[in-house]
């Protein structure tokens, strides 16, 4: 199992997990569980604004007219709006 650098961003971990999930190698696909746990730990430290940015990555996988796209867009805007209100205080 390769060692991942500690300084990978949440977005980089996200894309790495996506790549592993698409792999035809069963061992690589199983690594998504480990990467998912690591990603979960990193997500807990993200601001609402950063989570909103990540939702944009998720949203790109859905069609613009899908319900999933609408939910991601709503959540992204809500999180980023909340973050911008906190910054103004």
For residue 42, with 0-12 CB atoms within 10 Å meaning exposed, 13-18 middle and 19 or more buried, which class applies?
Answer: middle
Neighbours of 54 (CB within 10 A): 18
Does pTM top 0.75 for this prediction? Answer: no
pLDDT tens for residues 12-60? 898 889 899 999 999 989 999 999 999 999 999 998 888 888 888 888 8
What the block records as the tokens of 8 is 């990978």
DSSP 28-63: HHHHHHHHHHHHHHHHHT--HHHHHHHHHHHHTTS-
Contact 83, 52 (CB under 8 A): yes
- Taking only the tens place, the pLDDT of each residue in 54-67 is 888 888 889 999 99
Domain boundaries, given as residue ranges, for the chain: 10-44, 48-88
């Amino acid at each position: 199992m390769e060692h991942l650098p500690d300084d990978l961003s949440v977005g980089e971990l996200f894309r790495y997990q996506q790549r592993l999930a698409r792999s035809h190698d069963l061992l690589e696909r199983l690594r998504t569980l480990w990467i998912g746990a690591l990603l979960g730990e990193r997500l807990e430290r993200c601001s609402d604004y950063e989570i909103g940015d990540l939702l944009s990555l998720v949203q790109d996988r859905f069609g613009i007219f899908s319900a999933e796209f609408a939910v991601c867009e709503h959540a992204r805007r809500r999180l980023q709006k909340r973050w911008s209100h906190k910054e103004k205080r």
